Amino acid sequence: MKRLIQKLFNTLSGTGSPTGKGNPVAPPNTPPPARITVRKPSAPTPPAPPPKRNPVKDKLYGDLPLDQWPPPDAPATELPWSDFAAARHHLQEGRKELAIAHWRAVLDTPALESLHYLQAWFFLRQNEVRPAPEEAYKMFGVVAENGPSGVLVAIYEDGQARLYSDKGQGIVWGHPDASLDPLIESVLLASWKIVETVKPWKTAHIALAKSNINSIYVLTPSGFYIKTGPPQTFENDPIVKPVAQGLGLIIQALMAKTGEAK
């Protein structure tokens, strides 16, 4: 009798069967359960590979990491390389204040290349030192890259300029004379409008994949001020257009200088 009651209980509760083999039995007149199809999840889409870094272009923003500035071939006993080398050594040994003092010494050294001042400020920002308001917006340079072609042009407050293709071939204007100064000064002046309208990007620049996107970086002690967008946007933007047009004139001038040299 107990076995019969147990079998009946199992049958009604769905925990067993009259055969006692543990197979659930559906009540009479109950439709069979719907078939559930379990689909194997598809493999996630792999992320797009990051843009290939171009070491020639990367050094034009003044934001190389500590282990790359000064570079291995720099004369470590000459200023300002000696200050950068000493700052790196002190920071690695935990003497942050001494490192900061050496970077500030670079800023106090007159007539250096603009990239030295940009690198010093980059390291200072990384160590929580911010420029005073009167020096935060000094424009040390502008770097622009054309996404579709990969062409990059860079100009600096010290009168230097660079023009590179996507393969790293290019023209280096080391300021042998002042013939490009008016063009460079006009672009730096026009770039002030960009600084007024966007917030600073305080970390390292982002490598631009070859695409239909242009970028303009304004380089200051407080960080980068960046405008990006497709070429047609740049053509119609009243803030960006004067900068882009001025850089176009500089590209033409640099190409003409190359022709003169030949």
Asked whether residue 76 falls in the same domain as residue 122, the answer is yes
Q: What range does the domain containing 248 cover?
A: 141-261
Residue 13 has φ and ψ, to the nearest 5°, of -85, -10
Instruction: Give me the pLDDT at residue 7, please.
Output: 36
User: How far is 74 from 70, CA to CA, in rounded Å?
Assistant: 6
Asked whether residue 62 falls in the same domain as residue 111, the answer is yes
Asked whether residue 167 falls in the same domain as residue 121, the answer is no
Task: Read off the pLDDT of each residue in 71-85 and give the average, rounded to a whole number.
Answer: 93
Q: Is 6's pLDDT higher than 80?
A: no
Neighbours of 99 (CB within 10 A): 24
Asked whether residue 108 falls in the same domain as residue 146, the answer is no
Q: pTM score, two decimals?
A: 0.77
At residue 174's C-alpha, the angle toward residues 173 and 176, to 5°, is 100
Instruction: Give me the pLDDT at residue 29, please.
Output: 57
Instruction: Give me the pLDDT at residue 106, please.
Output: 98
Residue 92 has φ and ψ, to the nearest 5°, of -65, -30
Asked whether residue 99 falls in the same domain as residue 171, the answer is no
Structure-token pair, residue 199 = 């917030």
CB 141 within 8 A of CB 114: yes
**Domain for residue 98, yes or no?**
yes
**Domain for residue 28, yes or no?**
no
Minimal CA–CA distance to 159: which of 144, 143, 179, 145?
Answer: 179
Residue 198's Cβ-count burial label (10 Å; 0-12, 13-18, 19+) is middle
Asked whether residue 119 falls in the same domain as residue 200, the answer is no
DSSP state of 79: T
Instruction: Give me the pLDDT at residue 19, please.
Output: 43
Instruction: Give me the pLDDT at residue 60, please.
Output: 95
Asked whether residue 96 falls in the same domain as residue 180, the answer is no
Minimal CA–CA distance to 6: which of 21, 26, 18, 25?
Answer: 18
Q: Is 163's pLDDT higher than 90?
A: yes
Asked whether residue 157 falls in the same domain as residue 253, the answer is yes
Asked whether residue 256 falls in the same domain as residue 148, the answer is yes
* pLDDT tens readout for residues 170-212: 999 999 999 999 999 999 999 999 999 998 886 677 766 556 7
**Domain for residue 3, yes or no?**
no
* pLDDT tens readout for residues 128-155: 999 999 999 999 999 999 888 889 999 9
* pLDDT tens readout for residues 17-70: 444 444 444 444 555 555 555 454 444 444 444 455 677 888 999 999 999 999
Structure-token pair, residue 191 = 């770039």
**Domain for residue 42, yes or no?**
no
Q: Is 223's pLDDT higher than 50?
A: yes
User: How far is 249 from 3, CA to CA, in rounded Å?
Assistant: 99
